[in-house]
Amino acid sequence: MFNLSGKLAVVTGGGSGVGRAIATVFGRQGARVFALDLDGEAAKATAAAITDAGGTADSAACDVSDATAVKSTFDAIVGRAGRLDILVNNAGVAHVGNIERTPEAEFDRLFRVNVKGVYLCSQAAVPVMVRQGGGVILNMASIVAFVGVADRFAYSMSKGAVLTMTKSVAIDYLKQNVRCNCICPARIRTPFVDGFVKKNYPGREAEVLQELAEYQPMGRMGTPEEVAYLALYLCSDEASFVTGQAYPLDGGVLNQ
């Protein structure tokens, strides 16, 4: 089950955290993985780890908010591999602040990466998937697409857009056998979260990390691997009847 042999999977934000975990699990399950990341060296390290473990992987530096970069990167991938079976839109950025404390530049940055990035990568992938008879797109949304979280105005805006883009792509390409779903995690403990806390809450890191853990009724944050295993299911043939859905991975948050 959950065998991805013969499939080509592109994972954006694949250089660290959730993206790296997804790329690693997909490589372990037989997919040929392309790890994309703004940090090309981090993407290269992910690909090397997959290859060292016996898998097949390549990498590229790519700014998902840059239309020219996305087109050239995806053209190169499809030119080399001849197909594109799975796209995981995982690359994303965050911001702390309510609407009064969200500068226009930060709002634009989150929209550019979290929303436009999903749009550009999906726009590059869909024609390839339609041409070859099908494919899977998996977007990384968040529980903030369902519930309010304090001081996450711009981030919530962006993830709400990801949720509705997911449903739009799913319904538009249902007959072309292109499935599109999204995962909506609560707090996931990643190097990104650690760096984010250090930057925004200097001197209070331990306290804030504990608060982030306690936000989930389970009393802890999720792990990147837990997200990766759900991603594996949704991108596998075992989930062939699933499209247009948003899957919470929330440690019980939405049950409160």
Question: Exactly one of 119, 155, 173, 215 is catalytic; which is it?
Answer: 155
How does residue 177 score in pLDDT terms, banded at 50, 70 and 90? Answer: very high
> For the chain, what is the mean pLDDT?
97
Would you say residue 167 has pLDDT above 90? Answer: yes
**Domain limits, the chain:** 8-185+223-246, 189-221
Global pTM reads: 0.96
- At 62-105, the pLDDT tens digits run 999 999 999 999 999 999 999 999 999 999 999 989 999 999 99
The answer as to CATH 2.60.40.3080 being correct for domain 8-185+223-246 is no
Q: pLDDT per residue over 128-166, tens digit each?
A: 999 999 999 999 999 999 999 999 999 999 999 999 999
How confident is the model at residue 192, as a pLDDT? 84
H, E, C per residue of the chain: CCCCCCCEEEEECCCCHHHHHHHHHHHHCCCEEEEEECCHHHHHHHHHHHHHCCCEEEEEECCCCCHHHHHHHHHHHHHHHCCCCEEEECCCCCCCECHHHCCHHHHHHHHHHHHHHHHHHHHHHHHHHHHHCCEEEEEECCHHHCCCCCCEHHHHHHHHHHHHHHHHHHHHCCCCCEEEEEEEECCECCHHHHHHHHHHCCCCHHHHHHHHHHCCCCCCCECHHHHHHHHHHHHCHHHCCCCCCEEEECCCHHHC
Compute the average pLDDT of residues 224-245: 98
The pLDDT score that the predictor gives to residue 45 is 98
Q: Range with the lowest mean pLDDT among 153-157, 194-198, 241-245?
A: 194-198
| Mean of pLDDT values over 28-57 | 98
Q: Which pLDDT score, from 0 to 100, does residue 50 have?
A: 98
Known catalytic residue: 247? no
Model pLDDT, residue 237: 98
